[in-house]
Structure 1
Amino acid sequence: MNRLKIANWAGITFLALVYTGCSVPALIQKKENKVLPVSYSSTQDSTNTGKVNWKNYFTDPYLTALIDSSFANNQELNITMQEIEISRQEIRARKGEYLPFVGLGGGAGVEKRGRYTNIGASEATTDIKPGKETPEFLPDFQIGAYARWEVDIWHKLRNARKAAVSRYLSSVDGRNFMVTNLISEIANSYYELLALDSQLAIIQQNIEIQNNALKIVRLEKEATRVTELAVRRFEAQVLHTQNLQYDIKQRITVTENRINFLLGRYPQPVLRSREDFVNQMPNVMQAGIPSQLLENRPDVKQAENELAAAKLDIEVAKANFYPSLSLSAGLGLRAFSPAYIAKLPESLIASLAGDLVGPLINKNAIKAQYATANAKQIQAVYNYEKTVLNAYIEVANELSNISNLANSYDTKSKEVQALTQSTNISNALFRSARADYMEVLLTQRDALESKFDLIETKMKQMNATVNIYRALGGGWN
């Protein structure tokens, strides 16, 4: 009869726990929108430059050597690698939670019971041998194995492990995105360095040209064909041009040290190409189709894995509303004297227990946890959509930029050619007294500025090819 009552009460308790667990608050989950435009323009060519290996995309051996060195020495990249290792160990920890835990232990101690307690009084009657009292200070020796296991009925622990796997994959994609950005930062800085070298060379050439013009003006003054004013204006122009080189040299130092920082090393000269920067040809770009961004861009894949983890977090939080079943067991030997430890079966101890626990009253904490997980899932959806939108816009912007820079460079080249010819003409006219010295100065200044602008445009062209490669997700693979 007693067993029947116990079974009835156990059944009632189980039904009550299941009933209370079924009352899970209804929350709305937002689904991500993966619809992208079919193309960036009228063409739908699937050939994608972003899939080209970076060693094949960047052909300058000095640049590829710098990029290769940064992979081993960049501190930010190494920090990210440790974050990946942390995520990997989180998977290991989560996996261990839903497997049985078995341990081995032993202990020894001594205990004194009060003589006027029920246990103390019973111990005072006799020891193992008749007529011998139990010692007042009773030793206790034990050794045994124990096990515990939470039965993953609702897949709470498995879902937590899957969420950890998704976050691990997200950290790997984060590392890949950092590699892509690192490559683009080094390449952009490298092309800026080449542009500064070209500008410094142009300044030095102009200083020589202007010094020759200054000599001619001084000879003209001695022949009383010009005044001292013309001489002073030409001297001022030479000094102004000489002053420009110091700013360029400082910018070269800063750019070199920016590259050194990305390579994780202290300031030192950066080896680079000495070829004419203006004659470098930008790479021909093929953007493919927008849907390829979902696979090529590491930040998009990172956001997608974070979204997958957030969805699993909801399932984990939802499982907290249901009862959990835990099993525990133990098997070992215990006696008050080491001499009796090996005596079987008298010293044998064993236990087996099961716990069924579920929330009944005051579920505010788990309700809040569930609502928080749902809010984070919606937040992850918006972050994913924002990342995809940003990726598409970056590619569209860079494609437009490449087209406009090509037209700008052609126009600027013609301007430089015209101003170079006008400089020669003005010098010839000045020597034949058919042009004013101000015309010569203004023409030289305009020619110098146009050459600077041409180099700036070329640098923007090269940077655009780097940026579109990054926008397409190139570099990490």
Structure 2
Amino acid sequence: MKFKHKHSILIGFAILTLSACVTQKYNRPQVQNEGLYRDHNTTDTTTMADLPWKNLFSDTTLQSLIQKGINENLDLKQAIERIKISEANLQQSRAAFLPSLQGDLSVTDAKQSRSALNFPPGININLETQTYRAQLSTAWEADIWGKLSSAKRAAYATLLQSDAAKRAVQTQLIATIANSYYTLLALDKQLAITEQTIKIRTQDVETMKALKEGAVVNGAAVVQSEANLYAAQVTVPDLKRSIKEAENALSVILVQAPGSINRTTLDQQMPYTNLQTGVSAQLLQNRPDVIAAELGFRAAFENTNVAKTYFYPALTLTASGGLSTLQLRDFFSQSVFYNLVGGLTQPIFAKGQNKARLKTAEANQQIAFYAFQQTLLTGGQEVSNALYAYQTAAEKEETRAKQIASLTKAVDFTKELLRYSSATNYTDVLTSEQSLLAAQLNGINDKLQKLQSVVNLYRALGGGWK
């Protein structure tokens, strides 16, 4: 018994050694993962990517919309179904280590041609026979070179990749819903400011008419004030259309018929300010698309291992056995048969299939490596862009407030001068009013940029799936 035990250990060790000679162990490839954030160097590993998304968004209405999107979004459901496909493939790769087993139950009726047999005259032989057969057959391939093991690891990597892809869909979904929501609030604010401007300019028209009657201004000022009013009014239909389109787009994401979206106001939104990025190397653990890209490379690496094993002999064992008889009454009597075959198949000439398979696998592995590297670099770019967008919006915010305050005073002053002095004309009022409206609308865009840059930074760092 001891000898057999030692013999089995030696055989197992020999098989592992042979397998290691053909297939290789996976190690993460060397990729650039340091210093990916331009002009932003830190050693602090605390990152907002670890923050649950509900803590990032204080607006409970937005939280409800995001939760509905996670529950109902069709892209996310498709990603979940792809995970199920990967799970099935993994189960199949695991089952490849087991022997196959098939059952066969058949009845065969055969009749020979007398003329074809060319029997001499006078010989009477039954030319029709019935064969009853029941058998089980099995086949098993020894994983000497690690082909089945590598295939299983490739399937497992693909499963993890599909799961990471699902998480990437979720992070993008959260960002898309939040950005669409903020865009909708910005459009609401722009419409409100435009409508308020229309009210003011309507009053300006009446004022200009009164001043004309008092001979303070001429008819040109009245016409200019009317044109200024129309310039504001003509933007309203486009703003309302944009609001409807934004609502429709968000409705599709939430898997509901196009319609109104429940929301708050832009003034109620407070951007998250603790923008901790961690170090760029953390993208390898936090960002789902980077994780998926590396797992894609790992699956391609294992597929290359599988392709290498086709150049080496395959050891297979096949067996079949059962019952076979010409008379149904003798089915369980002296009708047993079996066969057992062990085979070692060495490819000699396969029309270049094995070489083509290996070259294809190696090329796919290299493509997967480039995709992994590209995804990581893109992640660093998106983090940098989001940081710059936030910084730019913050810098503009204070200056924009001063601009709006100055333009508001300019409008008031020019109107007063127009009423009581001939030192100015309505062109000055017109210029001030148009500049004020443009500054107010740009101020809304500044806040929208700030809100969306936080969302984009959170997604770029890999937040939203933990």
TM-score (normalizing by structure 1): 0.87
SS in structure 1 of the partner of residue 323 of structure 2? strand
- Give the CA RMSD over aligned residues: 2.6
Structure 1 spans left out of the alignment, 5+ residues = 1-20, 126-132
| Superposed displacement of residue 33, structure 1 | 2.1
| Count of aligned residue pairs for this structure pair | 442
Instruction: Give the Cα–Cα distance (whole angstroms) in 1 for the partners of residues 23 and 464 of structure 2.
Output: 44
- Matches of 1:214 and 1:43 in 2, distance apart? 58
Equivalence for 1:146: 137
Q: Is the 8 A contact 2:317 2:340 kept in 1?
A: yes
Alpha-carbon distance between aligned partners in 1 of 2:321 and 2:340, rounded to the nearest angstrom: 9
Residue 38 of structure 1: how far off its partner (Å): 5.2
What SS does structure 1 have at the residue aligned with 2:234?
helix
Give the conservation status (yes or no) of the 8 Å contact 1:30–1:378: no
Identify which of 150, 153, 161 aligns with 1:162: 153
Which residue of structure 1 aligns with residue 379 of structure 2?
391
Q: Deviations over 1:113-144 (max 9, x none)?
A: 456899x98xx99xxxxxxx863211111112
Q: Shift of the alpha carbon at 1:355? A: 2.1
- Provide, for residues 170-194 of structure 1, a one-character-per-residue CA deviation record: whole Å limited to 9, x for no partner: 1111111111111111111111111
Residue pairs, 1:84-99, within 5 angstroms: 84-99=83-98
Cα deviation for residue 442 of structure 1 reads: 1.0
Q: 1:187 to 1:275 in 2, by over 3 A?
A: closer
Partner of 1:294: 284
- Note the C-alpha offset of 1:43: 3.1
For residue 455 of structure 1, the aligned residue among 430, 441, 444 is: 444
Letter in 2 for 1:61: T
Partner of residue 111, structure 1: 110
Aligned residue number for residue 34 of structure 2: 37
> Are 2:414 and 1:423 aligned?
no
Deviations 1:227-284 (A, max 9, x none): 111111101111111111111111111111110111122111000003626x734433
CA distance in 1, matches of 2:285, 2:429: 58
Secondary structure at the counterpart of residue 395 of structure 1: helix
1:465 matched residue in structure 2:
454
Q: CA deviation at 1:326?
A: 1.5
Q: 2:329 aligns with which of 326, 339, 342?
A: 339
Is the partner of 1:224 in helix, strand or coil? Answer: coil
Change (3 A) 1:280 1:214: farther
- What's the secondary structure of 1:276's corresponding residue? helix
**What is the aligned counterpart of 1:211 among 182, 199, 202?**
202
CA distance in 2, matches of 1:67, 1:449: 32
- Is residue 171–residue 465 contact of structure 2 (8 Å, CA) maintained in 1? yes
CA distance in 1, matches of 2:349, 2:133: 40
Q: What are structure 2's unaligned runs of at least 5 residues?
A: 1-17
Q: What is the alpha-carbon distance in structure 2 between the residues aligned to residue 76 and residue 26 of structure 1?
A: 37
Quick check: 420-429 or 300-309, which moved more? 420-429
Quote how far apart the aligned CAs of 1:472 are: 0.3
Partner of 2:301: 311
Question: Aligned pair in 2 of structure 1 residues 362, 336: CA closer, same or farther (>3 Å)?
Answer: closer
Q: Is the aligned partner of 1:58 residue 2:57? A: yes
Find the aligned partners of 1:268 and 1:423 in 2 and give their Cα distance.
Answer: 39
Please give the alpha-carbon distance, in whole angstroms, between the structure 1 residues aligned to 2:27 and 2:344: 34
Contact 2:22 2:145 in 1 (8 A): no
Give the percent of matched residue pairs that are identical in Structure 1 and Structure 2: 31
2:463 alignment partner AA = G
1:234 — aligned with what? 225
Aligned residue for 2:320, secondary structure, equals: strand
| Displacement over 3 Å in runs of 4+ | 24-27, 113-118, 279-283
Offset from partner CA, 1:336-394 (integer Å, 9 cap, x none): 11100121xx1111111122212113551101110111111111111111111111121
* Whole-angstrom CA distance in 2 between matches of 1:405 and 1:267: 32
Letter in 2 for 1:324: A
CA separation in 2, counterparts of 1:26 and 1:200?
A: 65
Q: Which amino acid aligns with 1:111?
A: A
Deviation at 1:98, TM superposition (A): 2.5
Structure 1 pair 472–160 and aligned structure 2 pair: CA distance change class (3 A): same
* 2:189 is the alignment partner of 1:198: yes
Shift in alpha-carbon separation, 1:140–1:25, aligned structure 2, 3 A: closer
